[in-house]
Amino acid sequence: MKERIAITGIGSISPLGGSLEAAWARYRDTDHCFTERHVNACNYPIAPVDPNLESAIEELRNSDHRYKDLDRSVLFAIEASRRALDMSGWKKKADFGVNIGSSRGATGLFEEYHKTYLEKGYAPTLTSPTTTLGNIASWVGHDLQSQGPVISHSITCSTALHAVLNGYAWIRSGLTGKFLAGGSEASLTPFTLAQMRSLKIYGTAGETYPCKALDMDKTRNSMVLGEGASMVCMEKDPEGTSLAYISGIGYATERLKHNISISADAKCFQRSMKMALGVLNPSDVDVVVMHAPGTIKGDLSEIKAIRSVFGETTPGLTSNKWKVGHTFGASGALSLELAVLMLKHQEFIGVPFIKEQHGLIPSKISRILVNAVGFGGNAVSVLLERSNL
């Protein structure tokens, strides 16, 4: 039996709101969080953070003169991390590690600074220190005065779950007893949107459901960008009540055949899921929260991988990208949040527009497998269990 690591706090800034209660209320309705933005003669469906959170972000920006020059991705991370610590009961200056990643980092600032360079021929003084990927975790460590290791990384869309893997490994190694892990992404910028449209995978404005994640009848790609941050507090020996336990982790990569592709049957997911399950019977898993970005090939390959691993005992399958969009580096942690909420409330949150639910819809929920994958087949799977299991 693998050692279980407790999740004692979750903090998020997302289109769903800024608390677990707000997120759960939004998940229980069948509406999505998308709005539309007109950029460079194109209409984009997007999922911005809940507008009610903007005042909190601005208050944070104005609370310290050093925070005025930080990108939204960093501010999201700081605010979400504070909320996670409040829930866990951890104190500032405590001995805990920090691993927070992002797919693209400070995209908003980078685009502003690059525009200045093109127009005026110079780069502002703070261009480099405020756009390096490492400044996300570094500023969170500064804000929380963490006494443990502070790590940043990018593994594109599986970044947040890789941070969870790292935290799990650090705790099991005995190097630290607590770890804050997650991801942050403020990706709703003109150049980022243009990049996604150029890949021919972006959703269409004006649709009732712009992102058709898990709809196997869709005839065109429908990925939609969202923004946000989500952090989890992990610890080996929690003093109080835990939200859930991590009982297995898995990871795998594939040999690259294309910059963004994975194999037709997602062999990376097959290996990561099997590793996370270990000796557990696949039939003991009740739900899989899929990566499922809303693309035709991406959704289908992951379902094929799940059916290969689970066979006739395929559990209930779901995704949150139809509702909050793809938040890149933060997406895996937001999927983890959904899993924790389903474990807590013992209610399966499906996708409202699909004609037939995939897999067996559970009457009780004890274990949930959460998937994420980055460009090129860099997959992660995390197995969660109810705290009282």
pLDDT in tens, 80-125: 999 999 999 999 999 999 999 999 999 999 999 999 999 999 999 9
pLDDT (mean) for 145-166? 96
Just give the CATH number of 246-385: 3.40.47.10
Q: What is the pTM of this model?
A: 0.97
Residue 212: count other Cβ atoms within 10 Å of its Cβ: 28
Give the residue from 161, 180, 167 showing the smallest Cα distance to 272.
Answer: 161
Residue 376 has pLDDT above 70, yes or no: yes
Write down the mean pLDDT value for the chain.
Answer: 95
- What are the residue ranges spanned by the domains of the chain? 5-235, 246-385
> Matching CATH topology for 5-235 and 246-385?
yes
Burial class (CB in 10 A: 0-12, 13-18, 19+), 337: buried
Give the residue from 62, 71, 140, 69 showing the smallest Cα distance to 99.
Answer: 140
What SS3 class is residue 306? helix
For residue 260, the model assigns a pLDDT of 55
pLDDT (mean) for 175-188? 97
**C-alpha dihedral sign at 325, 382, 195, 299:** negative
Residue 257 has pLDDT above 90, yes or no: no
For residue 1, the model assigns a pLDDT of 46
For residue 259, the model assigns a pLDDT of 57
DSSP-assigned letters across all residues of 327-366? -GGGHHHHHHHHHHHHHHHT-----TT-SS-SSBPPSS--
Write down the H helix ranges in 226-330.
267-277, 296-310, 321-324
- Is residue 228 very low, low, confident or very high in pLDDT (cuts 50, 70, 90)? very high
Q: Let me know: does 93 contact 147? Beta carbons within 8 Å.
A: yes
The topology under which CATH files domain 5-235 is: Peroxisomal Thiolase; Chain A, domain 1 (3.40.47)
